[in-house]
Amino acid sequence: MSTAFECSLLIPCFDAAPYLLSLIECVRAQEHSFKEVLFYDDGSSDSTSRIITDLGYTPIRGDSNRGVSYARNRLIEAATCDWIHFHDADDLMEKSFLAEMSKVIHEDRSVYLCQSDWLDADHGNVQTEWRYSQDDLSENPLIAVLQKPVSTLNAIYPKTLLEEVKGFDETVTCWEDADLNIRIAERGYSFRVVDQVLVKSLRRRDSSSVRQGECEECRYKLLKSYKERMDKHLYPILAEEFEQTARRALRHKNYALARSALASCKEVGGEPPTSSNKLFQFLKKIFPSYWLLFIQSFIRG
């Protein structure tokens, strides 16, 4: 892409005052600058809007907290560039992020991804190396993004694409970015990977188990909606995802959700719990899958 490449940076904020200075340092250090930087203050109760203003930007302000999907959709409406990158206020990017991404962006029927690291916000050590496979994404984009959820943190989107899929589902309170990319893949768009770690997600311990449990409820509802509209050849993939949802639900002691997810797994042809252990394969013929999954999760810790 030539130097004419222009990209809008869209930052949804809610009580983001402690994080804004670090992010803006990253933004202003970019080797290839964003054409515009837009903030949406989603009803913050702290000094978020004042800090944004002091930094020289004019935030779009919401009267109440409507959630990140609503905030991102308002930012899409306000953006004037052909390309869009979303970045949460408490995450970071390398100074080469936009420069490296702009080198490969050449057509507007693709989402462009980079690799990312998830860091412990308290100590800075890498918790997870979040990597995408170009081979998997090229072979079958929909299967790839179902199995390996894509975050907006890693991505640059054509604005026309976001408008075509009608942005984020505002009824979804989490997994909204994964859902966006699944709907994009369903429409036949491709995904291109820049194989460099250019963004960093800071994982904070203030995320409560209650909130994590709510996210698993959201994931389950989305998977059920995919089951209703997707072709049956995708059922084995959905079965895997239902089983993984059940495992996470057990970790958060949401036993009702675990049972529901296992039932849905079986509805699409799954035979949980998945295991190569011959004893477990034999026990599956005798005991309910819920109890075997519980035992398996306990053994694995």
Tell me the pLDDT band of 299, cut-offs 50, 70 and 90: very low
Interval 155-184: pLDDT, tens: 999 999 999 999 999 999 889 999 999 999
From residue 165, give the alpha-carbon distance in Å to each of 40, 82, 104, 189.
21, 15, 23, 11
Secondary structure class of 126 (helix, strand, coil) = strand
* pTM of the entire predicted model: 0.90
Tell me the pLDDT band of 250, cut-offs 50, 70 and 90: confident
DSSP label at residue 132: -
Give yes or no for residue 190 having a pLDDT over 80: yes
* Mean pLDDT confidence for 258-285: 78
CB 273 within 8 A of CB 296: yes
Radius of gyration (C-alpha) of the chain in whole angstroms: 20
* Ranges 110-119, 123-132, 156-165, 262-271: which has the least confidence: 123-132
CB 126 within 8 A of CB 118: yes
Interval 71-104: pLDDT, tens: 999 999 999 999 999 999 999 999 999 999 999 9
* Mean pLDDT confidence for 183-209: 86
Give residue 207's identity as a one-letter amino acid code.
S
Q: Which of 256, 269, 103, 124 is CA-nearest to residue 192?
A: 103
pLDDT at 210: 45
* Mean pLDDT confidence for 249-257: 88
Where in the chain are the domains? 7-203, 209-300
- Its sign, for the CA torsion 80, 85, 89, 94, is negative
pLDDT at 44: 96
pLDDT at 107: 83
CA 12 – CA 40 distance, rounded (Å):
5
The class that CATH gives domain 7-203 is alpha beta
pLDDT at 294: 62
Per the document, the length of the chain is 301
| Helix and strand element counts for the chain (H, E) | 13, 9
Give yes or no for residue 22 having a pLDDT over 60: yes
**92: β partners:** 200
CB 149 within 8 A of CB 185: no
- The overall average pLDDT reported for the chain is 90
Cβ neighbours around 11 below 10 Å, total: 26
pLDDT at 280: 57
* Mean pLDDT confidence for 271-276: 73
Q: Is 42 exposed, middle or buried (0-12, 13-18, 19+ CB in 10 A)?
A: buried
Tokens representing residue 256 in the block: 């009702």
CB 31 within 8 A of CB 98: yes
